[in-house]
Amino acid sequence: MTERKLQRNRRGFTLTEVLLALAILIILLALAMIPISRHQRNIRQTELDSKAETIYLAAQNRLSQLQASGRSDEYGKDRATALNNIPWDAEQDKYTTSTLYYVTSAAKSTDTSAAGSILPREQVEAELWDANWVIEYDPGSGSVYAVFYSEKPMQYSFDAFNPLRSRDRRVQEGATVGYYGGDSVQSEDTGKLTPKMEIINKERLLLKVTCDTPRDPLHFYVTVTDAQGHSTGRMELTGSEVNVSYRTYTVTMVLDDLTEGKRFSQQRRFRQLTEGRVVILGRKTLETFPGGRPLKNRTNIILTTNPDFHAVGAVAVNSEQALFELLRQYPRESLCVIGGASVYRLLLPYCDTARVTKTLTTVPADAFFPDLDAIESWRVCAQSEIFEENGLRFRYDDYVNLTPRSF
């Protein structure tokens, strides 16, 4: 009797019990996969949105280039398709149904579409240019409104894509389309934020702004004016200037730097002289900018000997001949040379005017601008009063070249 009981206990699980256990295990695994899948879609969505942002910035820079060179006809209404609608994330009183137009990547190689002009091949990395994108823009102002991006084929229509301006909707539909524009650029909640500002006055005069936000991303646009009325104009702070810890943003802006001789009033003068124009500079000069990114509201042309160099939002050229061919496309009065030393030496003979901040205080330096007073063809045509800030004496001298060369 005892032996029969032992044998019955050793029989193991019945088929019904095994199937029940497997069913429970499958259900638990399915439940576990739901948050994992959602997390993966969110990561994927962030990647796609970032690529859409890259195209947005490159297209906006290109529109500024075309506008500065008098070639706005290349993105005119006759070379795009009318949206005939107002996106739900647009400021309703800012747009009409006839304001916005769009181009698609499918037409980038056709002569009748503005797509190839707004986003030429050299403007972005090949991976982005070869993918599928839609650029919505305002031909009247020359400004990009939004960009949709996908690595899969997509047929654009306003009714189908308008809901995808919501990140939640994009994630819900599988995270296959990226978007940048609309409320991703202009936060509706900005007016509710309460930033805290702090001035740190040492060797560097710093403006430090700290702000908590319930949403991402947060874009900082700052205008600073001193007691003499010197203003920076409207600037976006990006890159290394912005530090994010959870949802607290800390932005640090250098107003003055005695260690490098940078002056707040000089930054304002530089902005006034170059904004809306074409700036020519070397790669090393570009790397000194915040985040190593091109200057906004200007067409950036980078002269470099590195044929593999690429900067989003800028045009890179690798030889003097290529540079001169490019510069001939722009009005001469729109061109500004901003350094460094080798670029100044190369292009100075072609300049007709030089705006020089002349430091009257001896400071250490490792690079030098040519002495225009020692060059026969250059003459002083205007000279400001002498300014002094924190022990640094300087003035603004304007020179004219009597015999400028042609490109």
Q: What is the mean pLDDT of residues 131-157?
A: 93
Residues 148 and 53 sit within 8 Å (Cβ to Cβ): no
Contacts of 210 (CB under 8 A, 6+ apart): 195, 196, 198, 248, 249, 250, 251
235: left (phi over 0), alpha (psi -120 to 50) or beta: beta
CA 104/CA 115 separation, integer angstroms: 6
pLDDT tens for each residue of 117-133:
999 988 888 899 999 99
Q: What is the mean pLDDT of residues 177-182?
A: 90
Looking at the whole model, is its pTM more than 0.85?
no
Of 4-8, 134-138, 382-386, where does the model show the most confidence?
134-138
Residues 88 and 165 sit within 8 Å (Cβ to Cβ): yes
Q: pLDDT value at position 349?
A: 95
Residue 225 above 80 pLDDT? no
Which is more confident, 97 or 260? 97
Of the listed ranges 18-22, 252-256, 345-349, the least confidently predicted one is 252-256
Q: Assign 135 a pLDDT band (cuts: 50, 70, 90).
A: very high
Residue 258 above 50 pLDDT? no
Q: What is the mean pLDDT of residues 30-57?
A: 77
296: left (phi over 0), alpha (psi -120 to 50) or beta: beta
The DSSP code for 348 is G
Q: pLDDT value at position 190?
A: 42
Query: Domains in the chain, ordered, with CATH?
Result: 37-184 (no CATH), 192-257 (no CATH), 264-401 (3.40.430.10)
Residues 138 and 181 sit within 8 Å (Cβ to Cβ): no
Residues 249 and 208 sit within 8 Å (Cβ to Cβ): no
- C-beta atoms surrounding 369 within 10 Å: 16
Residue 56 above 70 pLDDT? yes
Q: What is the mean pLDDT of residues 86-95?
A: 86
Cα–Cα distances (Å) from 27 to 39, 151, 225, in that order, read 19, 33, 63
Q: Assign 139 a pLDDT band (cuts: 50, 70, 90).
A: very high
Residues 105 and 131 sit within 8 Å (Cβ to Cβ): yes
Q: pLDDT value at position 259?
A: 47
